[in-house]
């Protein structure tokens, strides 16, 4: 099985994921601010304000947690790719070193057989 790791393409994908994660994080921060503002805009309706705060409090960081998950997954992918690239380099170096150690000085030259001759 042959494979190739395109470092440039991998880097581009990780940059795109990081940009998407940052956009998600900014949207989540805006959502949290809007929810906090909404909780404080009920004025003298203390019961409604308290009810909304109870509703909003366990949800106010959902977007930030999702953005954090995106960043952690991208970081894991980057680490895995770096390990594969490093291992690929090591395997290549080991194979080249093994080939250099093969004693070829005693091997006879290859004889080419001309094959059947036309009559």
Query: Which tens digits make up the pLDDT trace of 33-68?
Result: 888 888 777 777 778 878 888 888 888 888 888 888
Question: Rounded to whole angstroms, how far apart are CA atoms 91 and 80?
Answer: 16
Question: Rounded to whole angstroms, how far apart are CA atoms 30 and 38?
Answer: 12
For residue 35 the two structure tokens come to 């929810």
Question: What's the distance, CA 15 to chain centroid?
Answer: 9
For residue 93 the two structure tokens come to 């170096």
Name the band, by pLDDT with cuts 50, 70 and 90, for residue 111.
low
Residue 116 has pLDDT above 80, yes or no: no
Position with higher pLDDT, 118 vs 89 = 89
Question: What's the distance, CA 44 to chain centroid?
Answer: 49
User: Angle at the Cα of 57 (from 73 to 51), degrees rounded to 5?
Assistant: 150
């Amino acid at each position: 099985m042959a494979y190739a790791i395109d470092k440039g393409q991998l880097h581009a994908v990780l940059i795109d994921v990081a940009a998407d994660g940052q956009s998600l994080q900014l949207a989540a921060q805006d959502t949290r601010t809007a929810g906090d503002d909404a909780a404080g805009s009920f004025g003298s309706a203390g019961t409604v304000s308290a009810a909304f705060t109870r509703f909003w409090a366990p949800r106010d960081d959902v977007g930030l947690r999702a953005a954090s998950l995106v960043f952690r997954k991208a970081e894991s992918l980057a680490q895995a790719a770096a390990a594969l690239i490093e291992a690929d380099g090591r395997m290549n170096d080991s194979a080249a070193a093994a080939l250099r150690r093969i004693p070829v000085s005693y091997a006879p030259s290859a004889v080419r057989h001309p094959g059947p001759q036309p009559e």
